Amino acid sequence: MDECLPVMNTGLRGVAVASSKICDVRGKQGKLIYRGFLIEDLAQNATFEEVCFLLLYERLPKKAELEDFQQSLKQKRNIPENIFSFLKTLPADTNPMDVLQMATPLLVQNDLTVGKPGIENTLYSAENLISGLAIITAAWDRIRNKQEIIPPDNNLSHAANFLYMLKGKIPDDETARFFDTSLVLHAEHSFNASTFTARQVASTKAHIYAAISAAIGSLSGSLHGGANVRVMEMLKQIGSVDKIDGYIQNILNEGGLIMGLGHAVYQTDDPRAIILAPMSQRMGQIANQPLWYELSRELEKKGKNAFKAKKQKQIFCNVDFYSASFFHAIGIAMDLFTPVFAVSRVSGWSAHVIEEQFAMAAPKPTLYRPGAEYIGDYCGPDECLFTDMDER
C-alpha cells in the first residue's frame, strides 16, 4: 500500500468524508436538522411533500411552489405499465426490498431527462423516484396478495395515497397525518450507510436510478433500515411483558442484539424515536392493539438497564425501535416496514445524489476511492510466482 491515512476497520466512525448542506446530526445533543430546521418542528408543522421540496430545493416552498410540486409528483404516479407486468412475473414470496431494488431502475423508462446534463433534469428524476417507489411498494403488496392494483387518487397526498393504494381504503385524517409525519421523520439522516452508498454510486457519474437502487440494497440490511422488521419480529417473539427479562438475558448472554437499540452517531435517544413513541401508542390504541407499544416501552426500560449492567455503558433507542409498532398498528405488513422507510428516504438520497454530482457543497465532484491496507500473501518478500495447474 502506498501512503494512506489509517482509519481502518472503524466503519469510518467519526471521519468526515464530505461537506454537506443537507442535514446535521448532532449525536451528543440528540438533534436532527434538515437544511437548518429541527426535526421536531418539521414533524409538527410540515408535510412530507414540503420536506421533499426542502431537501431537494434547499428551502421551504411558498404556497404556489408547493402546489406545483405536489402536482408534479402526482403526474409521476403513473408509472410504466410494464413495471406491473414485471412485478407479476415474480414469486409471491420475493422479499419486498429485493423487489423494490429490482424495479426501481425500470422507472427510468418514463424519464427522458436521464443522462442529460443540468440539475433540473436530475431534480425531475428525483421526483419521478419519489412518486415511483411509493407506487411500486404498494403495487407489489397488492400483486403478491393476488389483489387488484389500485390506481392512484390524485385528490390524496403522497402519504394518504400510498395507504390508499396499499389497502384500497382512504385512510382517516389522523392516520394519514401520522403516516405523513413518519415519512417526514425517515426522510433524511446525513451520511448513514445507504446515503453514503447512493453518494458513492453517484460519484462515478452513474445516473440517479442506479444510485437509488444501490441505496435500497444498503438500507435493507438488519443493522440499518432492515432493523425495523427485526424489531417487530423481536416483539412478536417476546409476546408478553413477563417474557421480556428472559429474552434480554438470553440475547445479551449470547452476544446478540436488542434490535432498535444503539446508533452509530446518537449518544442519547434518537429524536425520531421520541416523536414516534407516542404516535405508536396512539395508533395502537386506535387499532385496539396496545400490546406492541406497551411491550416496546417495557423493553426499552429493561433493555437499557440490562445493557448498562452488562457493558457498563449506556445504550439508546434508534428510529426503528418505535417505528415498528407504529407501522404495525396502522396495518402495514411487517416485511413492508423497510420499503416504507425507502419510500421516505428516497427524498434524502436524491438530495445527496444531487449534492454529490453537482458539487453543491464542495469545490468540485470527486470520485470516492478509499484505500485499503493489503494484509494478504506475497509468498515471501516479493510477489507470488504463478504455478502451473498440475504443480499446485
Active site residues: 263, 320
Query: Among 105, 217, 262, 331, which residue interacts with ligand ACO (rule: CB under 6 A)?
Result: 262
Q: Which uninterrupted H or E stretch holds 26?
A: strand 23-26
What is the DSSP secondary structure assignment for residue 22, as one 8-state letter? Answer: S
Q: Which entry of ligand OAA, ligand ACO, none binds 212, CB below 5 to 8 A by partner kind?
A: none
Nearest distance, CB of residue 225 and ligand ACO, angstroms = 5
Based on the shown chain and the rule CB under 6 A, indicate whether residue 17 belongs to the binding site for ligand OAA.
Answer: no
Nearest distance, CB of residue 349 and ligand OAA, angstroms = 10
C-alpha 286/C-alpha 269 separation (Å) is 26
Query: Cβ-closest residue to ligand OAA?
Result: 192
Site for ligand OAA (CB under 6 A): how many residues?
6
Which residues ranging from 177 to 206 are in contact with ligand OAA (CB under 6 A)?
189, 192
Query: Among 60, 102, 257, 286, which residue interacts with ligand ACO (rule: CB under 6 A)?
Result: 257
Nearest distance, CB of residue 270 and ligand OAA, angstroms = 7
Which residues ranging from 319 to 338 are in contact with ligand ACO (CB under 6 A)?
319-320
Q: Which entry of ligand ACO, ligand OAA, none binds 102, CB below 5 to 8 A by partner kind?
A: none
Nearest distance, CB of residue 262 and ligand OAA, angstroms = 10
Q: Which uninterrupted H or E stretch holds 38?
A: strand 37-38
Based on the shown chain and the rule CB under 6 A, indicate whether residue 229 belongs to the binding site for ligand ACO.
Answer: no
Which residues ranging from 256 to 275 are in contact with ligand OAA (CB under 6 A)?
264-265
Phi and psi of 374, rounded to 5°?
A: -80, 120
Based on the shown chain and the rule CB under 6 A, indicate whether residue 61 belongs to the binding site for ligand ACO.
Answer: no
Nearer to ligand ACO, 107 or 259 (CB): 259
Based on the shown chain and the rule CB under 6 A, indicate whether residue 142 belongs to the binding site for ligand OAA.
Answer: no
- Contact residues toward ligand OAA (CB under 6 A) are 189, 192, 264-265, 318-319
- Contact residues toward ligand ACO (CB under 6 A) are 223-225, 227, 257-264, 311, 315, 318-320
